[in-house]
Each structure stands twice: as structure tokens, then as C-alpha cells.
Structure 1
Amino acid sequence: MTNLIGKGWAAGLLATINDPKNIIISSNDAVVIHDKYPKAQHHYLVLPKADIPDIFHLNQSHLPLLEELFLLAQNVIEVKRCQLDDFKIGFHAQPSMQRLHLHVISKDFVSDCLKTKKHWTSFNTKLFLYYQDAFALIKAGELIKPLNKELVQQLCNSPLECNQCKFVGKNVPDLKRHLLDHRTQKQ
């Protein structure tokens, strides 16, 4: 059943990237689209046109493609008139989709789609692999390996610590109220 869901979602991504009206920016090798369920005010996906299932299939031959994905990530931030320092760019270390995609997500995490602790931890713990770290591993000739189940469980159970200060939320709504305070202070 999981494989069917993964393939259905991957097919949905393929339909999305093949429809020009969904594309924010594109190159010969990749496209940038809006995440359909954004977990922050700005949340984009950079997808290669090549069929690469996930980060575990990347090797040194993909280094030029990874550089292209990162360039497009920087471009979408610029097009949206935002600052690079206000974003996280990386991959889920425990991907839930069967299509390689690079997340470009603003650090505010203000979104109605941010509903669960898993949503938070997937971007704010080691479940999120920063682009630079992934690139360095692959450049060194290493393959990215799946995290072991114990570590994934530990990370999923970690406290809801704010990504901008030391506040720890009691639950997701509590953390979201706190994140709105950060947003208000920046305005």
C-alpha cells in the first residue's frame, strides 16, 4: 500500500512539473514549484527533470545537477524578493516521497499546513539534511544513507524547540503562537 501511495504522489509531482502554469522557474535540468502543503510562508520544491527516486540514489555524477538545484533555489528566493538567510535549503533525511526534491523553506514556519510535531521535526532536527552537507558527502564519494529507526524515533520525539530562540512549546499550537510573535517582531 505504501508503494502505491508513493507512486501516486510521485505521479502527482510529475503532472505538476509537466504543466507550465505550475512552474515558477525552470532550467534545462530542473523546475521550481510551490509546495502544495506549505509549512511556512514561503515553501518551494526544486525537482530535477531526471527521474531520481530520492537522496539515497545520488552519487558524484549528480554533482552538477545538485549545483543546478541549488542555483534554482537561490533564484526563487531572489524572485520572491526575500533574503537567503531567512531560508533553509535541503532534503528530508527520511524522505516520504519517491521523487528527489530540494526544499526551499522560509524559517518563519507560519502556515496553516504546519499541523503536527512530525511537520516541525522534519524541518528542524537532523531529519532535515542541509544542501551543503548533502553536497559535501556526495563530493567526498560517500552515499547518503537512511537514518536508523532508533534515531528517527528519537528525533521525532524531540522537544518542540523554536528554531529562532530557546523557547520550547508544549504542543504545536503553542509553538505556532510563539512563531507568530517572532514574525510580528520582524515586521
Structure 2
Amino acid sequence: MSTMSAPSARMLTREDLDRMPDDGNRYELIDGEIVVSAAPVPPHQIAATRLLVTLAAACPAHLEVSHAPFDVVLGEHTVVQPDVLVLDPADLDSRGLTGPPLLAVEVLSPSTRRRDLGIKKRAYEQAGVAAYWVVDPEADEVTLTAWELRDGSYVAAGAVAGDEVWAASTPFSVTIAPSRLRR
């Protein structure tokens, strides 16, 4: 991951983000700074895809499950692309999601771990994302850690590894064993 600082003291906006090249990298805007991520590696993509399929199978008809690249506008200076997300289709416009998703999931990689557990977690929390999950597909045993928003702050909701099963209730009921997210 690298951060491109603004050439002046001004914070960048979605319009600046829209001018980034279509070059295979993922561009996000966090607190007015462009953050660039390289294409994900296979363990990351396998975990994200398997989680997407699991969530889609349990998703109620009035909600939608999607995946990156997919712009989620959390504020004027913050536009992110969660690896997997659950959203209300009423919050969509032609360019992406115009408010917080109900669930944002980040799949960790060595280059994104610090950001996903730090500034992105804070951004989701401040924007009012009801649930935030982090999957680590490269740990000895795949892990899933979850937080839920309570009174404006994230509280631990679950942490499982390997064959342990977690029963999520937010944004809907679904059970997940992290070991099923790795090949």
C-alpha cells in the first residue's frame, strides 16, 4: 500500500479520486488522501469470494451482497472499497453506495493489514457501518474477527479461527467457519 499526498494542503475529494488511472490498482480516498493497493493475491481473492457466496446464500431479498471494486462514499473526503459488503439497494446511485453499508468486510493482506485494522476500521465506525469484519486468510488458521456498532463505537462481536463456527446476527443471521474461506 502506498499513500499519495495532495500536492497542496487541500484534502482530496471524490472528483480527484475519479481522475485516477484505470491501471489495475485499487484507489481509495481516506481522510482526503489517495491510498493505492496493488491487485490482491490468490488467498485474498479465494477468501473474499467464498465469504461472498456464503453471505449471498443467507442474504434476505431486500438486501444485496457485493464486492470490490465498488465505491462506498463515507464522506466528502472518504471513499472506500470494502472487499465484501452488504448494502440496502435504496442507497445506490449510478456511481456506487452513497452511505454506509450494513456490513463491511476487509480481507487482510500484508500490505493492507495495518490500514484495515486502523484507519479503515475508524472510518467505518465514524460513518455508522453497523458491522465490520476482518478475515485473515494467511494466518496458520484462517481467522474472522467481527465488531458491531453500539452507541457510536465498535464493540467486539466475535472472533473465531479454523473450524470454529461463528453465528452472526448483524446484518442478518449467518454462520461462518473461517476454515471454509481457504482452499
TM-score by length of 2: 0.31
Bigger radius of gyration: 1
TM-score by length of 1: 0.30
The structure carrying a bigger helix percent of its residues is 1
Greater length-normalized contact order (CA 8 Å, ≥ 6 residues apart): 1
The structure carrying a bigger strand percent of its residues is 2
